């Protein structure tokens, strides 16, 4: 039962920190590095506790999760080099990818990209129509309405993570029952 509690704490810390990262990116166009660190620590605490408890069927092999993070790092590093993604976004996406095994990485990246595209279209609308009279200074909306071409991709990363958590079944009855 203690393993279930540890696992759930790690899952909800990860999801909560993802929400905080999305909000921070929306308000300030920055994702603090500590958020990425929290997500990585939560993954390794969950992974180690599952391994010690003998409940190693929830996650794929550690190798597959690390490989997922490495692939995500290289993809986002290239996008950062092309100035299509911020450094904080790259670090945050890589940290979240630890939770997504290589098997579910396409789902994570697909939904992250899909929602990022939606945010891109919203940015174009905001840039052209300027619907907000006095947005919060320094916020994404204020920057875009002043002509910047930016997207708070932390929100898209968090959405990709949420969808991948659904597909991996971390909160499914099958996974939760495996602790009993």
Q: Is residue 100 part of a domain?
A: yes
Q: Is residue 70 part of a domain?
A: yes
Q: Is 54 left (phi over 0), alpha (psi -120 to 50) or beta?
A: left
User: Whole domain around residue 33: which residue ranges?
Assistant: 2-109+154-177
C-alpha span between 22 and 111 (Å, rounded): 15
> pTM of the prediction?
0.94
Task: Decide if 98 contacts 64 (C-beta within 8 A).
Answer: no
Q: Is residue 134 part of a domain?
A: no
Count CB neighbours of 13 within 10 A. Answer: 17
Overall domain count for the chain: 1
Q: Is residue 116 part of a domain?
A: no
pLDDT at residue 155, as a whole number: 97
Give me the mean pLDDT over the 2-27 stretch. Answer: 96
Q: Is residue 139 part of a domain?
A: no
Compute CA distances 115 → 52, 67, 158, whole Å: 37, 24, 10
Q: Is residue 78 part of a domain?
A: yes
Show the tokens assigned to 22: 């999305």
Q: Confidence class of residue 54 from pLDDT cuts 50, 70 and 90?
A: confident
Give me the mean pLDDT over the 7-36 stretch. Answer: 97
Q: Is residue 147 part of a domain?
A: no
Q: Is residue 129 part of a domain?
A: no
């Amino acid at each position: 039962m203690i393993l279930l509690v540890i696992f759930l704490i790690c899952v909800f810390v990860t999801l909560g920190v993802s929400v905080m990262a999305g909000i921070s990116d929306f308000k300030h166009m920055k994702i603090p590095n500590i958020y990425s660190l929290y997500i990585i620590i939560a993954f390794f605490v969950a992974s180690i506790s599952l391994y010690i408890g003998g409940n190693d069927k929830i996650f794929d092999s550690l190798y597959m999760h690390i490989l997922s993070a490495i692939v995500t790092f290289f993809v986002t590093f290239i996008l950062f080099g092309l100035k299509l993604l911020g450094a904080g976004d790259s670090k945050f996406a890589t940290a979240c990818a630890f939770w997504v095994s290589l098997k579910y990485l396409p789902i994570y990246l697909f939904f992250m990209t899909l929602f990022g595209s939606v945010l891109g279209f919203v940015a174009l609308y905001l840039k052209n129509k300027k619907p907000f009279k006095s947005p919060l200074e320094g916020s994404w909306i204020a920057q875009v309405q002043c002509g910047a071409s930016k997207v708070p991709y932390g929100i898209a990363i968090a959405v990709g993570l949420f969808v991948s958590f659904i597909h991996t079944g971390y909160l499914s009855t099958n996974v939760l029952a495996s602790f009993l």
